[in-house]
């Protein structure tokens, strides 16, 4: 099948490459000329493990192409996915200008039936707006479907090729048949394509991310109480997770969530509730807890050393919002570093992948340096803070760390290290919700 994907960010590029891998002929389009130039030259504008091989293999086989010519993409495709950005506005609601601009371009260049699939994360009712926009600008037949993405950054290729479920919202049998054809090879192992009405499909995406964010903030609040009463949140998590009604995933305490999805989607769902006269009180609390949690390590340091951190040198390991990505959007490390320098501390930071993006965000701050590796980051440091749990940080050479640090304080923001081992080595260890 001939498929067009408008947007070559995390969602659009993974989607296009994955659909090409299953035998479709896919053209990915974007108005960002530089991004398309990079792709056509064999590069990848984002970091996502496994994506470079997937793109190059399908580009070499002629099943995947990239263009800035969106009108031609529209004329040559039967199914067109909208995968453009929906950034949050000041009130937290999603900005739909790019989605609707894309719909107008599609309508202006249709020469027959098209199935327009909204892949971007959008508020409930957006597909109705896309349908109205298409109807206003074309007389050709079309269908509009919702198909939210459930890709985890750092594991997006696996999620694309082996999805746990595919959600599609449509009231058209023709659209249902086309989507079944597009996605049929991805569900041969039995994981379902869940067809439903459009608004339920749109809601499913937001509700899923909001639930995951809620679990994270809940456990972080429990961890805070564990700190006060001397309980161990890791043991509490194990006891809770053994209950099949609860399960063990997304119950890890830490320094909060970030990224392109959870913060934006929680805010958008709260805004949708507000627009419809409903206060989303649980999600308001989820956001509040998460905002506080991003400053937890700073608060712990202030509790030990006082509010004036002048002269304190802090090493920060991990800058991306999660491992296996270079994405710095809403990253807890950003707030940690801002909080430290705002109290007079100096920072030397390291991340395996996200250094360039981090420099763009943090280089304007005073007393912030970037190290060439994790051990260079701890040279002369009074404090080591673990913010992002990259695999290479899980078993570091703590003898070398001890040798190169000036101080002996370790703040583990992801609970990945063994407290007893570090204390044996002479470190003062503080985790999240650990006694």
Positions annotated as catalytic residues are 261
d(CA 196, CA 116): 16
Copy the structure tokens of residue 209.
């991310």
**Residue for token digits 């200008």?**
97
The residue among 415, 387, 416 whose CA lies nearest residue 226 is: 415
332 touches 262 (CB < 8 A): no
First to last CA, the chain: 58
Q: In angstroms, how far apart are the furthest CA atoms of the chain?
A: 75
Please give the order of strands across the beta sheet that includes 313-317.
368-370, 346-350, 313-317, 383-386, 409-412, 428-430
Q: At what angle do helices 296-305 and 332-342 cross, to 10 degrees?
A: 30
d(CA 65, CA 40): 8
175 touches 162 (CB < 8 A): no
170: three-class secondary structure by DSSP: coil
Return the sign of the alpha-carbon dihedral for residues 396, 400, 402, 405. Answer: negative
d(CA 356, CA 359): 5
Q: CB under 8 Å to 236, separation ≥6 — which residues?
A: 222, 226, 433
């Amino acid at each position: 099948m001939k498929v067009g994907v408008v947007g070559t960010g995390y969602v659009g590029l993974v989607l296009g490459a994955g659909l090409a891998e299953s035998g479709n002929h896919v053209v990915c389009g974007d108005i960002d000329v530089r991004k398309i130039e990079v792709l056509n030259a064999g590069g990848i504008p984002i970091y996502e493990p496994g994506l470079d091989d997937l793109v190059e293999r399908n580009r070499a086989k002629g099943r995947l192409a990239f263009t800035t010519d969106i009108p031609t993409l529209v004329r040559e495709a039967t199914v067109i996915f909208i995968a453009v950005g929906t950034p949050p506005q000041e009130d937290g609601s999603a900005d739909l200008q790019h989605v609707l601009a894309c719909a107008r371009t599609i309508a202006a260049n249709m020469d027959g039936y098209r199935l327009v699939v909204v892949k971007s994360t959008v508020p409930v009712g957006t597909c109705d707006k896309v349908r109205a926009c298409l109807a206003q600008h074309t007389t050709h037949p079309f269908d509009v479907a919702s198909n939210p993405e459930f890709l985890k950054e750092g594991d997006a290729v696996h999620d694309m090729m082996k999805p746990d479920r595919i959600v599609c919202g449509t009231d058209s049998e023709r659209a249902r048949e086309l989507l079944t054809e597009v996605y049929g090879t991805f569900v041969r192992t039995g994981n379902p394509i869940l067809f439903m009405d459009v608004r339920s499909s749109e809601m499913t995406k937001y509700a899923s991310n909001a639930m995951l964010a809620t679990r994270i903030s809940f456990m972080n609040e429990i961890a805070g109480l564990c700190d006060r009463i001397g309980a161990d949140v890791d043991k509490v998590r194990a006891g809770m997770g053994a209950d099949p009604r609860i399960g063990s995933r997304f119950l890890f305490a830490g320094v909060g969530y970030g990224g392109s999805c959870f913060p934006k989607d929680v805010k958008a769902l709260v805004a949708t509730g507000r627009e419809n006269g409903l206060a989303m009180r649980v999600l308001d609390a989820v956001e509040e807890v998460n905002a506080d949690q991003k400053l937890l390590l700073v608060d712990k340091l202030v509790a030990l050393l006082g509010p004036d951190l002048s002269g304190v040198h802090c090493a920060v390991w991990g800058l991306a919002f999660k491992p296996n990505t270079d994405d710095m959007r809403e990253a807890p490390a950003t707030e940690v570093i801002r909080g430290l320098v705002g109290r007079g501390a100096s920072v030397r930071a390291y991340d395996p992948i996200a250094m360039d993006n981090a420099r763009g965000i943090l280089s304007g701050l005073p007393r912030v340096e970037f190290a060439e590796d994790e051990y260079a980051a701890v040279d002369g440091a009074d404090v080591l803070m673990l913010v992002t749990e990259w695999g290479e940080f899980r078993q570091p050479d703590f003898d070398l760390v001890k040798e190169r640090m000036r101080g002996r304080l370790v703040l583990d923001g992801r609970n990945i290290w063994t407290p007893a081992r570090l204390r044996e080595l002479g470190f003062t260890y503080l985790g999240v919700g650990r006694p």
